[in-house]
Amino acid sequence: MFVFCTIELAMRRIIQVKVYKGEKYYVAECLDLPVVSQGKTLDEVVANIKEAIELHLEDEDLEELEILPDYSILINLELPAYAKA
């Protein structure tokens, strides 16, 4: 039995981000990198986190971080669960 494993398969194509509503602003936390941002609107927080990720990775060796150069960003919106009384 042969097992094929290439660097490309081990490297990430997707950088995951969680967005939730803070007290005043929406907050975006990157799950794969030490990057956090905020914005008054969802559009603003998405633009801000994309820019923050780009700036963070600007001078980094993507191969060392196991991130492909053509990575995508997956943003998950966390909604509060409200129970009906």
Residue-wise pLDDT tens digits, 30-68: 998 999 999 999 999 999 999 999 999 999 999 888 899
pLDDT in tens, 13-23: 999 999 999 99
Q: Are strands 26-30 and 12-21 parallel, antiparallel or unpaired?
A: antiparallel
- For the segment 72-78, the average pLDDT, to the nearest whole number, is 94
pTM: 0.79
Structure confidence at residue 10 as a pLDDT band (50, 70, 90)? low
Q: What is the CATH number of domain 9-77?
A: 3.30.160.250
Yes or no: say if 45 and 19 are a contact pair by the CB < 8 Å rule: yes
Q: What is the pLDDT of residue 81?
A: 79
Strands in 36-39's sheet, in edge-to-edge order, are 36-39, 26-30, 12-21, 67-77
